[in-house]
Amino acid sequence: MSPVGRSKVRHVGGWAVHKILTRYIKYVKANMFSNNNSTVANVHKRQKLCNILEENIIVPFAKLEETSKYPETLDITEARQYRERGLLHISDEAYIFFMALEEKRVKLLNLHRLKETKCEMVKDAMEALTQDESLKYKWKRCFGLTDITKYTEHIEMMLENILFHYLNMGTSQFLRDFRLEYKVKKGAEIRKKVLERKEKMQEKNDSVPFNDIVNDRSERKHVSHGKLVAFINKYRDAGLCRVYRKPELLLLCQAYDVSVASRMNKKSLSNKLIEAITTHSHILSVSHVDDRQYRVTENTDVDGHIRIRIRLTGSS
């Protein structure tokens, strides 16, 4: 992990400690004048928890600046301090504990675990962390031997509270990252589809509609041939496959005198057609791609010569 990452872990660890410390102080202030014996006992217990935290976990920045083995991890917490200096710095031992906790959190809260356990992911993670003996050992090392012996129950209670807040924070961050990744992925898919649709539309606009070829009245259909050449230069055989149906490709092959079989697929037809289109300067047999139909209007035999007069269908 980078120094910035480790510094963030230390900062979040201080946040979790501050969270439970504030919670304990709030309880003490709210119930310090209670007459209920059980409540008074809880007040004393939480007051002791505050004292233990302040004596073992919370360390002034000035002292840490001189004695910490990991001075680079103090930067983020100090950079985010306001005038009241409400952010807490934690001891090196507490930092080591939170680094171990973060390592386990990453393994317990991830996409793979979410797919496996679904809605039980956070619950399973909490159970695993609570039962982890190595974490308990690292947490107890944050305190003096006297406190560990005398206040074992208090220290274990603080550990549960720390795990609860830290895991909640980690879960929230995981969900934010998950949603962001999903949005980015979804956005990329949408952009890809839009781009594909745009390219498809552009290809369609650049193509020569078969009906336009049929209706082309230029000599030897030079206009349509020129457009086909330009289209092929840009999109090659894939463009022909996408734009024209197989019957249309067969007619174009006949128009360019390309020998093909009806069983050939569109790709094979397109490959042969490309070679013919780029080789010739016009369409060779325009009758295959011409909508004009002729009819015989007069048939005479004069002096042994047969005369046939034809006219376009629909002409007067």
Domain residue extents for the chain: 3-185, 207-288
DSSP state, 313? T
**Whole-number Å distance between alpha carbons of 164 and 88:** 19
**Whole-number Å distance between alpha carbons of 207 and 199:** 12
Instruction: Calculate the alpha carbon distances from 282 to 161, 172, 213 in Å.
Output: 84, 68, 12
So what's the pLDDT on residue 285? Answer: 87
Six token digits for residue 214: 């049929």
Beta-bridge mates of residue 309 = 298
Six token digits for residue 279: 């080789």
- pLDDT higher than 80, residue 316: no
Mean pLDDT of the 59-79 span: 90
pLDDT tens profile 79-93: 888 766 778 899 999
pLDDT tens profile 208-227: 899 999 888 888 889 999 99
So what's the pLDDT on residue 97? Answer: 94
So what's the pLDDT on residue 50? Answer: 92
- pLDDT higher than 80, residue 298: no
So what's the pLDDT on residue 304? Answer: 64
Q: Which amino acid is at 244?
A: Y
Q: How confident is the model at residue 296 (pLDDT cuts 50, 70, 90)?
A: low
- pLDDT higher than 90, residue 185: no
Q: Which of 33-42, 165-174, 288-297 has the lowest mean pLDDT?
A: 288-297
Q: Which amino acid is at 219?
A: E
DSSP state, 262? T
Sign of CA dihedral 209, 210, 212, 213: positive
Q: Residue 249: which of 222, 275, 267, 231 has the closest Cα?
A: 267
So what's the pLDDT on residue 315? Answer: 39
Of the two residues 297 and 241, the one the predictor is more confident about is: 241
Separation of first and last alpha carbons in the chain = 88
So what's the pLDDT on residue 314? Answer: 45
Percentage of the chain lying above the pLDDT 90 cut: 40
CB 214, CB 289: distance < 8 Å: yes
Q: Residue 294: which of 280, 309, 283, 284 has the closest Cα?
A: 309
Instruction: Annotate 112-165 with DSSP letters as a single string.
Output: HHHHHHGGGHHHHHHHHHHT-HHHHHHHHTTS-HHHHHH-HHHHHHHHHHHHHH
Average pLDDT, whole number, for the chain? Answer: 86
Mean pLDDT of the 242-266 span: 90
Query: For residue 59, which phi and psi values (nearest 5 degrees)?
Result: -130, 135
**Whole-number Å distance between alpha carbons of 150 and 213:** 96
**Whole-number Å distance between alpha carbons of 125 and 170:** 11
**Whole-number Å distance between alpha carbons of 202 and 206:** 6
**Whole-number Å distance between alpha carbons of 253 and 300:** 37
Mean pLDDT of the 25-33 span: 93
Beta-bridge mates of residue 296 = 310
